[in-house]
Chain A
Amino acid sequence: MLTVQFLLLAAVLFCIGVYGVIARKNAVMVLMSIELILNAVNLNLLAFSARLGSIDGNTFALYVIAVAAAEVGVGLAMVLLIYRNRRSIALDELSEMKG
């Protein structure tokens, strides 16, 4: 197996995640897109870890998973709070700026 196929897969997932962040208006959907991105990163890390025979990639991937979990927790709590205050989690409606 070529390294590059994993890397390309990760790149595709990353870009899809980027698209999702830009295009989605539901806050939860945006968070999901961020999860896609994070997973792409993990794939990348692990591909290199396998390639280089180093264990550091694995460690890092674990850490990423942990941080992602924490981030989702906090993010969803924030979404809950926004929903409570604004009755909506559509990101376009949340902006108070006039631009």
Chain B
Amino acid sequence: MPTAETSHAAAHSAGWFLENAWIIPIVPAVAFALIIFFGKRLPMKGSELGVASMISSLVLSAGAAWQWMNRVDDASGGAVKELSRVAKAEGGYGAPYVEPIVREWTWWQSGGMEFGIGQHIDGLAITLLFVVAFISTLVQVYSLEYLRGDRRYTHFFAALTLFSAGMLSMVLAPNMVQLILGWEIMGLCSFMLIGHWWEDQANARAAMKAFFTVRVGDVGLLVGTGILFFSANSWTQANLGVSGFNISGLSAWAMSGEAGKSALTWGAVALFVACIGKSGQFPLHTWLPDAMAGPTPVSSLLHSSTMVVAGVFLVARLYPVFWEGLGITENTVNFIVVIGGVTIVIAALLAFVQHDIKKVLAYSTVSQLGYMMMGLGAGAWLPAVFHIFTHAFFKACLFLSAGSVSHSGSHHSFDMKKDMGGLAKKMPITATTWIISTLALAGVFPLAGFFSKDEIIDNVGHNGYQVFMIIGLGGAFLTAAYMTRATYLTFFGEARGAAAGEHHAGEHHADQHDSHDIHDAHDAHDAHDSHDSHGAHGPHESPKLITIPLVILAVLAVFAGLANATPFGSNWERFKKYVEPSAAYVAIEETLATGPGEAIVVVGAESGEGEEATAGCSFEVPEAGKACYFPAVSHAKFKWSKGLLSLAIVAAGLVSSWLFCVQYYTRRNRRLVGLTERNALLRGGYRFLWNKYYLDALYEKVIVRAIAHPISRGAYWINQNVLDGIVNSAGRISRRVAGWVYRNIDQRVVDGAVNGSGAAARGTGGALRPVQSGKVNQYGALLFAAAAIGALVLVIINT
């Protein structure tokens, strides 16, 4: 185990896992290559490689997490502890700056610029590494059973492994280039996995919609990276010796006070546009519900717990840029918090009208991502990151439970209204994990969501964003309500359709996004029956490979919140201690690409127990020779009054929704049934929600068509008139030239020469012919004349 070295901050205990955390994404990447090349020949068709690689990544991340925690503990001890005791005596304690483990190798050079690849391990990276590795492992184990017999089993695991490799490499990226690399790999894998059953056109279209929508946002990523690079490069090179892509460099530059305000603002806005796309914020959230076309493990891994939080991760990672660029906590409204708040509400409302259980969860994810963004936008950095942590567990659990229900309960259907109901008795484990996760999501004490989501709401209000605090509370109500509806429809009430044991021959297969209609028609269905113990042909509990991950995740959904249980005091705020970066001024001892040197503890930079930050980075510009890496964020002090208020709201949501569901779905209350058909306003509202606010229509029919049509018409015009015109006119010109050449050169010149020589010969012959006249007298004349002339010539010559 790592040994503690006390004096120099740069020599805080690092360990083998921390130093070599760069291996964590390499293992899945290698596994991906091996699965692609050899997977089909292996006994388990390549899935063993995937699971093994994920388990090794998990072990490595766990080791790194353990060593990081030791590192932070070491940093809090020793000489720094002395200083902190002093500081505490004066009214606060200094949170120690723990230098991240940064290692970078030159990837390539071009034009005098070096691009590096490597790792940047700090608390945030550790958190995400662990979450991604953990959820990936569970999901791959789950997929062993869920996708058994699938036609592209091997490629599924390959894509899943590649995704993990991509996200892991993004999470520990030390510079923007590697971050973009991981980002794009994730986008690619998302596309591949959503369109896993691409034979169904709807799935292919959903995959493309996801890809293109996120791509629209990715323009912002490139633009933002560019803006920040060009603005920051000179400063970072001069002060820290790193390029303008380096994340620490960017953070320090943003906090240095020498950064141009417009560069920061526009860079932050551009980067956030990318986050809007990737994390499904309004208005680019439309792809997430459609992404449910992919297999359920994909939904639970990518589109709930890991990939979609990449946007949140980006904001958290480059937080100083956003803090300074968008003026977080200087104002009462900024771009991020508005988008987050709007997203919470509109997604929650949409979740009420869904029939598909996965879509309910998708909108719920969008809504929770809105929470995270809102929190980040309001200066609640730690609660938002903690929410990433807890949300991953219970949302993944919810998705996997939904998959379990469809796998064994509703005969591969996800339609709650048609094929589910009353499954609680038949599938107890699934029902239990679902309900636990629902309560965690809703934020019921003492489950995980309470400690994370409520902290967000609390801090948002504390930092002056009152309106958004109310929005957050409203969102909590709605969350509880729609989840209850979904729970009721799935597990309680009367069994409908497949849940009642009816086997719909083929009709519902077409409109569900599950695997079995691709199973080479229904012949494989019988094979499926045998291994699925479908003998009774009714809903039953899922096999162990499915339920064990569910149970694990449910347990975490219960206990994960205790990692940062603010209500219980600062000693319970482990997460904060290990993950939140320090707002201390850091001396730049050596200009290392791996990060600067000693940290100087600033009195009052961070106060415990939820008090205001009064000093530290973001209050004063750092002096020369010092850099800031993180702004001083405030933490709201927990009060049970606030906690009980939110609990009351959640309870109200749960109860009212339950009552409504019971009344409505059992058709007991005459007044409620058919209400939306009778009341014009409600009907209009229902239709508005059903059509997803007509956003899809807007995007596809108006925007895309408005852009694509003219472009395609223009391209067609260019093709016909310009390109073809050039070709045709080239043909015409050459024909005319050929004609001219033929007439003038060939006929006149060449033939003329040929004919002319003939004519000349004939002419000469004709001219000479009279000599051969046959007349003797003439011959005589010629003879004597020639002789006379010859004589004359001779005479003349000789005189």
Closest to B770 in A: A99
B residues 754-799 in Cβ contact with A at 8 Å: 769-770, 772-778, 780-781, 784
Q: In the complex the two chains form, what is the Cα distance from A97 to B781 in whole Å?
A: 18
Closest to B776 in A: A91
Q: Is the CB of B773 within 8 A of A25?
A: no
A residues 5-43 in Cβ contact with B at 8 Å: 18, 21-25, 30
Partner of A22, one of B769, B774, B781: B781
Q: Is the CB of A95 within 8 A of B780?
A: no
Closest to B775 in A: A95
Q: In the complex the two chains form, what is the Cα distance from A91 to B780 in whole Å?
A: 12
Interface membership of chain A positions 56-99, coded 1 if the CB is closer than 8 angstroms to chain B and 0 otherwise: 00000000000000000000000000000000000110111101
Q: Is the CB of B775 within 8 A of A91?
A: yes
Q: Is the CB of A25 within 8 A of B774?
A: no
Q: Is the CB of B773 within 8 A of A23?
A: no
Chain A residue numbers with a CB within 8 Å of B781 are 21-22
Chain B residue numbers with a CB within 8 Å of A30 are 776-777, 780
Closest to A25 in B: B777
Closest to A23 in B: B777
Closest to A37 in B: B784
Q: Is the CB of A22 within 8 A of B784?
A: yes
Q: Is the CB of A99 within 8 A of B776?
A: no
Q: Is the CB of A95 within 8 A of B774?
A: yes
Q: In the complex the two chains form, what is the Cα distance from A22 to B770 in whole Å?
A: 16
Q: How many of chain A's residues have a CB under 8 angstroms from any CB in B?
A: 14
Chain B residue numbers with a CB within 8 Å of A97 are 772-774
Chain B residue numbers with a CB within 8 Å of A24 are 777
Q: Is the CB of A91 within 8 A of B770?
A: no
> What is the CB-to-nearest-CB distance from A27 to chain B, in angstroms, rounded to a whole number?
8
Chain A residue numbers with a CB within 8 Å of B776 are 30, 91, 94-95
Chain B residue numbers with a CB within 8 Å of A96 are 774
Q: Is the CB of B772 within 8 A of A21?
A: no
Q: In the complex the two chains form, what is the Cα distance from A18 to B774 in whole Å?
A: 18
Chain B residue numbers with a CB within 8 Å of A23 are 777
Q: In the complex the two chains form, what is the Cα distance from A96 to B776 in whole Å?
A: 12
> What is the CB-to-nearest-CB distance from B194 to chain A, in angstroms, rounded to a whole number?
100
Q: Is the CB of A22 within 8 A of B773?
A: no
Chain B residue numbers with a CB within 8 Å of A21 are 777, 780-781, 784
> What is the CB-to-nearest-CB distance from A14 to chain B, in angstroms, rounded to a whole number?
10
Q: In the complex the two chains form, what is the Cα distance from A23 to B776 in whole Å?
A: 10
Q: Is the CB of B769 within 8 A of A99?
A: yes
Chain A residue numbers with a CB within 8 Å of B773 are 95, 97, 99
Closest to B778 in A: A22
Q: In the complex the two chains form, what is the Cα distance from A25 to B769 in whole Å?
A: 21
Chain B residue numbers with a CB within 8 Å of A91 are 775-777
Chain B residue numbers with a CB within 8 Å of A92 are 775, 777
Q: Is the CB of A22 within 8 A of B772?
A: no
> What is the CB-to-nearest-CB distance from A20 to chain B, in angstroms, rounded to a whole number?
10
Chain A residue numbers with a CB within 8 Å of B770 are 99
Chain A residue numbers with a CB within 8 Å of B780 are 18, 21-22, 30
Chain B residue numbers with a CB within 8 Å of A22 are 777-778, 780-781, 784
Q: In the complex the two chains form, what is the Cα distance from A79 to B229 in whole Å?
A: 122
User: Which one of B773, B776, B778, B781 has the highest number of Cβ atoms from chain A below 10 Å of its Cβ?
Assistant: B776
User: Which one of A21, A23, A24 has the highest number of Cβ atoms from chain B below 10 Å of its Cβ?
Assistant: A21
Q: Is the CB of B777 within 8 A of A99?
A: no
> What is the CB-to-nearest-CB distance from B453 to chain A, in angstroms, rounded to a whole number?
125
Q: In the complex the two chains form, what is the Cα distance from A22 to B772 in whole Å?
A: 15
Chain A residue numbers with a CB within 8 Å of B772 are 97, 99
Q: In the complex the two chains form, what is the Cα distance from A97 to B778 in whole Å?
A: 13
Chain A residue numbers with a CB within 8 Å of B769 are 99
Closest to A96 in B: B774
Q: In the complex the two chains form, what is the Cα distance from A66 to B123 in whole Å?
A: 146
Q: In the complex the two chains form, what is the Cα distance from A22 to B781 in whole Å?
A: 5
Q: In the complex the two chains form, what is the Cα distance from A68 to B420 in whole Å?
A: 147
Chain A residue numbers with a CB within 8 Å of B784 are 18, 21-22
B residues 584-639 in Cβ contact with A at 8 Å: none
B residues 404-439 in Cβ contact with A at 8 Å: none
Closest to B773 in A: A99
> What is the CB-to-nearest-CB distance from B778 to chain A, in angstroms, rounded to a whole number?
8
Q: In the complex the two chains form, what is the Cα distance from A21 to B779 in whole Å?
A: 10
Chain A residue numbers with a CB within 8 Å of B774 are 94-97, 99
Closest to B785 in A: A22
Q: In the complex the two chains form, what is the Cα distance from A30 to B784 in whole Å?
A: 14
Q: In the complex the two chains form, what is the Cα distance from A95 to B772 in whole Å?
A: 10
Closest to B780 in A: A21
Closest to B784 in A: A18
| B contacts, CB < 8 Å to A | 769-770, 772-778, 780-781, 784
Query: 26 A-B contacts, Cβ less than 8 Å apart?
Result: A18-B780, A18-B784, A21-B780, A22-B777, A22-B778, A22-B780, A23-B777, A24-B777, A25-B777, A30-B777, A30-B780, A91-B775, A91-B776, A92-B775, A92-B777, A94-B774, A95-B773, A95-B774, A95-B775, A95-B776, A96-B774, A97-B772, A97-B774, A99-B769, A99-B772, A99-B773
| A contacts, CB < 8 Å to B | 18, 21-25, 30, 91-92, 94-97, 99
Q: A94-B774, A95-B775 are in contact. List 8 more A-B contacts (CB 8 A).
A: A18-B780, A21-B781, A22-B784, A25-B777, A92-B777, A94-B776, A97-B773, A99-B774
Q: Please list the 3 inter-chain residue pairs (A to B) with the smallest Cβ-Cβ separation, ordered nearest first.
A: A95-B774, A97-B774, A22-B781
